[in-house]
Structure 1
Amino acid sequence: MPRYAARMRSGIAILVAVLAAVAAPAATADEPAATAQSVFNKPGPYPVATPVRTNPCQESVWGMVEHIAVHMLGNHDDMTCTQAFPNGLESPIGVNTYYPANIAELPNAPLLVFTSGFGANPGMYDALARQWAGNGFVVVIPYEFFNSLLYVPALGVATAVTADRDPNSPLYNKIDLSRTIFAGHSGGGQAALQAGTAFPGIASLIDPAMRVLGVLAIEPGPLAVGALVSVPTLFLTGYNDFVVPDFAWVRWWQYNLSFQAPAWIANARGVSHFSPVDGLDNYLSAGTALAWLRYQAFGDEVAKDYFVGPNWRLPADKTYFSVERNALANALS
């Protein structure tokens, strides 16, 4: 009888083990890998201060036209605009500034000069600017409607340098000009590449501390040549973009000719030319943009893993149809 009871207990134990194995969750290796969007597309740790005020773009006639156009082309969220003409009656030329509200308590912040797209209102990038400022950047968005040539980011640099030197500014002696990055979308991406061509050689003439760390070119226009850009550059394109197709100039004479500095290009599925002015959850490269900015400006090790090393994570990111990097980026460690 004791022998029979022992066998019963052994059988029950085996049955329990089998049932537990069947009910257990799938192995970690079978789980989808984290994307840059899922890891980085989140609010930053800092509250954001800005004098910028936005309203729904469709409150103006021009804004209504833009609103209808981007929704017809696949955007999901309503855009926000400032009152800069033609979306309102304020000056069509200016600079919007965003920064951590507690910047006085923080180390000096890197400068991000972002140029809007051709014909775009600067308020359309309010969500991106707030995300970047919340992650520790001073963000300036210079604008003048066309937003396509070097003088526009130059206006942003001038505004930032003036604020850094002004004792009455909340940014007085708080901008780290040695960590300056140029960025832009569409025509503004073209202007950012032009800035990445011109500013590295003259930065110290503007301010002895100024240094350009890189360029973030989001679906950039054609009037820039990669061979002339001497700082690390990330090109973000969209698989559904018919305005700046991934296979056109952004590869022909921009990424493919980037041989002076490390360069990356990532073509996101489901992203159109107007996705950068959609909500952050619907712009599927928002997380990658922030990861690259954090890697360049802060040396963020988690972010760096997406771009550097033999096992860099971006090629495995299911957000992207294709991802490439040049020989200089491939040599980074």
Structure 2
Amino acid sequence: MRKFAHPRRGVAVVLIALSVLAAVAIGAAPVTLAEEPAPPPQPAEIAPGTTAQSVFGKPGPYRVATSARIHPCQEAVYGMLAHIVVHVFGNRDDLTCTYSFPNGLDSPIGVQTYFPENIAELPAAPLIVFMPGILADPGMYDGLARQWASNGFVVQIAHDFFNSLAYVPALGLAAAVVADRDPNSPLYKKIDLSRTFFGGHSAGGQAALQAGTVFPPVASLIDPAMKVRGVLAVEPGPLAVGALITVPTMFLTGYNDFVVPDFAWVRWWQYNLTFNAPAWIANARGVSHFSPVDSADGYLSSGTALAWLRYQAFGDETAEQFFVGPQWRLPADKTYFSVERNALADALT
């Protein structure tokens, strides 16, 4: 397999990140064309009482390749403190970290990449640009990233330690554009920018919502093929407003979350004000603010997150049954204390 590193990759990422931000302001226009998306799979019959987690909360068919160097967080003092905190709040699994400062000596600013190992044999894959929570290490989301990549996505975890504002997803998007254009990259012409998603947890969730506000109107200026298909906001921070979102959005909250309570801003001025795009919100029982850094099978909403992403990216009709139509399955999913969708989502057929 070709190496991830390229002698001018860092410079190229910075330059394209600047061009992405410039496109928002003045409209630059680089050129890349994406391949046709893969055809959707055939729907499966879903029995009554089936949860999204039981169907989608598991690894996909592909082995995963990644640029991330993962180690136990307990190997660093900062990581040990984080490890203790999440276990106090009920996490099941031990935390994993990269070597990004303060969990190592690597730069705290960067992008970690995950993708199907056999991507050279596959059609161009949809892109997820994901941001960690504030002060969180990207390696803490290794489980979610691997789950998504094993199901056919390219995942870019963009991070700068604070992970709170739209320039962080701009960095991840820039890295994806560089990789898609670089003949020395294993992702050369393998990222389908016409199926771009932003996602994030906590502060990273608010950055994803900001990206869902800023980038859809200028996507074609960044790349003629680019289209933002949706935002996955996991227990997001307060610095985003739903009225500005114009792409489908999934809000995931936790009943045991005292940092981002389901009844607070995530409803007041985010979900409740999402008038211009279909939106869903699901409040999971037994989920705390730190549950998303557990492994994918330990975080009880990971199956719903993947189902929503597959529905939006691949037109997966099995996944679609949880979100669309008068008999949509998510309200009956015993994982959730409450589930809602807005009028635009309710009108989907």
Q: Is the shorter-chain TM-score for this pair beyond 0.5, marking a shared fold?
A: yes
Q: CA RMSD in A?
A: 0.8
Specify the code of the residue in structure 2 equivalent to 1:323.
V
Q: Work out the CA distance in 1 between the residues paired with 2:124 and 2:143.
A: 23
Aligned to 1:18: none
Q: 1:39-54, aligned counterparts within 5 Å?
A: 39-54=55-70
Aligned to 2:162: 146
Q: Secondary structure at the match of 1:256?
A: helix
Which among 153, 166, 170 is matched to residue 137 of structure 1? 153
Which among 234, 255, 261 is matched to residue 239 of structure 1? 255
Aligned to 2:290: 274
Aligned to 2:228: 212
Q: Work out the CA distance in 1 between the residues paired with 2:149 and 2:51.
A: 22
User: Is the 2:58–2:297 Cα contact (8 Å) retained in structure 1?
Assistant: no
| Deviation of the 1:73 alpha carbon | 1.0
Q: Secondary structure at the match of 1:142?
A: strand
Aligned to 1:36: 52
Q: Work out the CA distance in 2 between the residues paired with 1:140 and 1:202.
A: 20
Q: Work out the CA distance in 2 between the residues paired with 1:219 and 1:122.
A: 16
Q: Work out the CA distance in 2 between the residues paired with 1:201 and 1:279.
A: 35
Which among 278, 289, 293 is matched to residue 262 of structure 1? 278
Aligned to 1:321: 337
For the structure 1 residues 279 and 222, does the alpha-carbon distance in structure 2 shift closer, same or farther, using more than 3 Å as the test?
Answer: same
| Deviation of the 1:42 alpha carbon | 1.0
Q: Work out the CA distance in 2 between the residues paired with 1:196 and 1:32.
A: 34
Aligned to 2:34: none
Q: 1:104-115, aligned counterparts within 5 Å?
A: 104-115=120-131
Aligned to 1:25: none
Aligned to 1:158: 174
**Unaligned residue ranges in structure 1 (runs of 5+):** 1-30
Aligned to 1:126: 142
User: Is the 2:147–2:296 Cα contact (8 Å) retained in structure 1?
Assistant: no
Aligned to 1:176: 192
Q: Does 1:297 align with 2:323?
A: no
Q: How many residues align?
A: 303
Q: Does 1:332 align with 2:348?
A: yes
Deviations along 1:207-260, one digit per CA (max 9) or x if unpaired, are 000000000000000000000000000000000000000000000000000000
Specify the code of the residue in structure 1 equivalent to 2:93.
D
Q: Does 1:64 align with 2:80?
A: yes
Structure with the greater alpha carbon radius of gyration: 1
Q: Work out the CA distance in 1 between the residues paired with 2:318 and 2:253.
A: 23
Specify the code of the residue in structure 1 equivalent to 2:260.
V
TM-score (norm 1): 0.90
Q: Secondary structure at the match of 1:65?
A: helix
Over the matched positions of the two proteins, sequence identity in percent amounts to: 78
**Bigger relative contact order (CA 8 A; separation at least 6):** 2
| Deviation of the 1:192 alpha carbon | 0.2
Which among 79, 89, 92 is matched to residue 108 of structure 2? 92
Deviations along 1:151-191, one digit per CA (max 9) or x if unpaired, are 00000000000110111111111110000000000000000
Q: Secondary structure at the match of 1:89?
A: coil
Aligned to 2:117: 101
Q: Does 1:199 align with 2:210?
A: no
For the structure 1 residues 307 and 32, does the alpha-carbon distance in structure 2 shift closer, same or farther, using more than 3 Å as the test?
Answer: closer
Q: Work out the CA distance in 1 between the residues paired with 2:278 and 2:232.
A: 12
| Deviation of the 1:52 alpha carbon | 1.2
Regions of 4+ moved over 6 Å: none
Q: Secondary structure at the match of 2:259?
A: coil
| Deviation of the 1:33 alpha carbon | 0.9
Q: Work out the CA distance in 1 between the residues paired with 2:332 and 2:67.
A: 40
| Deviation of the 1:32 alpha carbon | 6.5
